[in-house]
Amino acid sequence: MDIEIWSDIACPWCYVGKRRFETALERFEHRDDVTVTYRSFELDPEAPAERPGEMAALVAAKYGIRVEQARARQAELAALAAADGLDLDFETARAANTFDAHRLVHLAHAHGRQADMKERLQRAYFTDGELISDRDTLVRLAAEIGLDAEEVRTALAGDAYADAVRDDERTAAALGIQGVPMFVVDRALGASGAHPPEALLDLLRQGWEARAAAPTG
């Protein structure tokens, strides 16, 4: 069974959703027969390499709310994420363009390390305060999960996997995906949002039943 997850690295709900999905998959009876692919989705494709300023102030400006409200929402989200074992530090997070990071996830997929790369990038962004648009930083993070640093540096210096990122985004548009995370099972069933593990487990089971009931031949 094929699971595709559209998400952005600089998306806290995507990080929470990833962890909750992993919990659901661990409980799924047929987990060894599931292939998971992370697909690219940029929430802000026009973002500069780095957008200076406090994250709460940036969020407040984007949604037209007070900075205090943005901080309160971030605190609530951080507490919720902590229950899933995640440490979200919005005070040190650095708003950045994620296109190169998405290219790196595709490169990691070619080496069978996509999930590891996605995890490392999200932790770098939300916990470590790393600038994930910086190519030297991306090379270092990739090396930490076992990718060849020179291969990564060469790929990022050119346009490797740029088409793959754009293809993911075009597919998302064709499927009507407007928000992330989005979990898609066999291109037949989908769930949008960081649902609790129980709900994502139900999605997996529904997908498996639908697959079993599909005609063959």
Domains belonging to the chain, first-starting first, are 2-213 (3.40.30.10)
Residue 91's pLDDT is 95
Q: How far apart are CA 200 and CA 152, in angstroms?
A: 33
Count other Cβ atoms within 10 Å, centred on residue 17. Answer: 24
- Sign of the CA dihedral with 105 first, then 115, 43, and 5 last: positive
Q: What's the pLDDT tens digit per position in 113-163?
A: 999 999 999 999 999 999 999 999 999 999 999 999 999 999 999 999 999
Contact between 123 and 31 under an 8 Å Cβ cutoff? The reply is no
Q: How far apart are CA 198 and CA 195, in angstroms?
A: 8
- Which tokens hold the place of 15? 């990080």
Q: What is the crossing angle of helices 135-144 and 99-110, to 10°?
A: 30
Residues of the chain with pLDDT under 70: 216-217
Sheet holding 189-192, edge to edge: 35-40, 2-7, 182-185, 189-192
Is the whole model's pTM more than 0.85, yes or no?
yes
Residue 213's pLDDT is 83
Residue 97's pLDDT is 98
Residue 216's pLDDT is 66
Residue 217's pLDDT is 56
Beta bridge partners of 7: 40
Give the mean pLDDT of the chain: 96
Contact between 14 and 38 under an 8 Å Cβ cutoff? The reply is no
Residue 211's pLDDT is 87
- Sign of the CA dihedral with 171 first, then 118, 203, and 35 last: positive
Count other Cβ atoms within 10 Å, centred on residue 163. Answer: 11
